[in-house]
Amino acid sequence: MLSPKLLALLVAKEWRELMASRAYWLLLVFIGPLVGNSFITAVNLYAEASGIGGGAAALAQGLTPLDGILVPTWGAYDLAVTLLFPFVAIRLISAEKESGAWKLALQLPAGLGTAITAKVLALLAGWAIVWLPGLIAVVMWKAYGGHIHLPETWDLLLGHWLRMLLSASVAMAAAALAESAASAAIVTLSFTLGTWALDFIAAGRGGWLAEVAAFTPTAALRWFEQGLLRLSTLLVMLVLALAGFALAAIWLHQGRKLSARWFKTAALLAASLAVIGSSAAVRASWDLSENRRNSFPLADETALRQIHEPLRITINLAPEDPRLMDYERNILNKLKRILPKLTADFAAQSRTGLFESGGAEGERYGEIWYEMAGRKVMNRSTTEPIVLEQLYELAGIPIPAKTEESEFPGYPLAAHPKAARLIFYALWPLSACLAWWLARKFQE
């Protein structure tokens, strides 16, 4: 039973432990320059693309602060959460295991669940402070006259928050399983490298592997960076994070027999896989990007929603073929959001498609087949209007009349990153060091 009073007491204890952690303070000192460097580079590049030299902006419509400023600036957090933050999370468990404090903690009246919850809450609070430079960057961008579209900004922040939660859960599970902090760090980094390898392999193979790889931390974050909130991604990341914390709880209960811990681990794995499997199939998503990059024009979406029959698309394009990347980004992912009964098959056998010219199979390379209610048509186009026209014809729906939708104007801004160097390279690290010193004094 979770007692609020005990939880508050334990959160306060974990907060003190976090404040005593050198790893946390080093993360805090370095995050300023990391974010600052990303922000300054992004602002300069954005200014160049916006015609800082006096000329017209190259392509005003293509200039979105999400892509140009927010994603690269917050990209620093992806680096921090991969390479620095796990050590902070590991310490919260390993230090207690190695010092013997965990033997006392297990006997405290709060219970294991409350103890783990307290650690997670303290980490979340600590991470909120780590976010300050990123938030300062957003405020500075506004101060330069930059534009911010709140829904896509919140979506990006949610993605980074989930990324951190996942990282914390992996690190805590590793710390619970491993004998020492060093072993836990190796396990955590191996997990990260494993997900990178999965991303890389899936990019070359496609198919079910690509479906799985869509939920690796890096790939999952990419959806949020596109301004898309996919319920499946959100649920899978949450379930993975909770499973990591539960795994930590199982292995931190040293009073249980090893066989019981393995049994519980297997049960947790099975339950998590079942929930993840059903969560991954959820199609609901929201396009929160200002330029509606993840959606078809409204008239087309209304027309497409009239299609209730299952649609099967067979794509004869190799995973590394740029046409497939275009097709997925501009058509397939958008269609998946509109048509619940859509299935896509990837028929190409090779990675690149360069050597698929021979034989009957090779001659079909580049073909994209659409099948609905027994009717089949083939098209090689990866261009949105052509494919949509084909689909309307197949479904027997009239082509919708083009409507006057307000076009995304783009937000060119030729600004200099004023005061950014001073704030991120000098004031932030100095403030963090001062806060570190004060925290030590306060704890005495």
Shorter beta-carbon distance to other proteins: residue 17 or 155: 17
Distance in Å, CB of 260 to other proteins, minimum: 8
Distance in Å, CB of 17 to other proteins, minimum: 7
Shorter beta-carbon distance to other proteins: residue 406 or 443: 443
Q: Which residue has the tokens 């001659």?
A: 363
Shorter beta-carbon distance to other proteins: residue 257 or 281: 257
CB 137 within 8 A of CB 35: yes
Helix (H, G, I), strand (E, B), or coil: what is residue 51?
coil
Give the contacts of 12 (CB within 8 A, at least 6 positions apart).
none
Q: How far apart are CA 17 and CA 168, in angstroms?
A: 16
Q: How far apart are CA 117 and CA 134, in angstroms?
A: 26
Distance in Å, CB of 30 to other proteins, minimum: 21
Pairing state between β 375-379 and 368-372: antiparallel
Shorter beta-carbon distance to other proteins: residue 108 or 212: 108
CB 108 within 8 A of CB 115: yes
From the list 132, 130, 125, the residue with the least C-alpha distance to 8 is: 125
248 CA to centre of own chain: 23
Distance in Å, CB of 179 to other proteins, minimum: 16
Distance in Å, CB of 114 to other proteins, minimum: 12
Q: How far apart are CA 439 and CA 265, in angstroms?
A: 39
Q: Which residue has the tokens 């990006």?
A: 156
Shorter beta-carbon distance to other proteins: residue 16 or 351: 16
Q: Bridge partners of 229?
A: 286
CB 165 within 8 A of CB 173: no
Residues that bind other proteins (CB under 8 A): 6, 9, 13, 16-17, 20-21, 95-96, 99-101, 103-104, 106-110, 254-258, 260, 443-444
Distance in Å, CB of 107 to other proteins, minimum: 5
Distance in Å, CB of 104 to other proteins, minimum: 6
Length of the chain: 444
Shorter beta-carbon distance to other proteins: residue 122 or 213: 122
Helix (H), strand (E) at residue 315 = strand 311-315
Shorter beta-carbon distance to other proteins: residue 20 or 209: 20
Distance in Å, CB of 94 to other proteins, minimum: 12
CB 31 within 8 A of CB 108: no
Shorter beta-carbon distance to other proteins: residue 4 or 109: 109
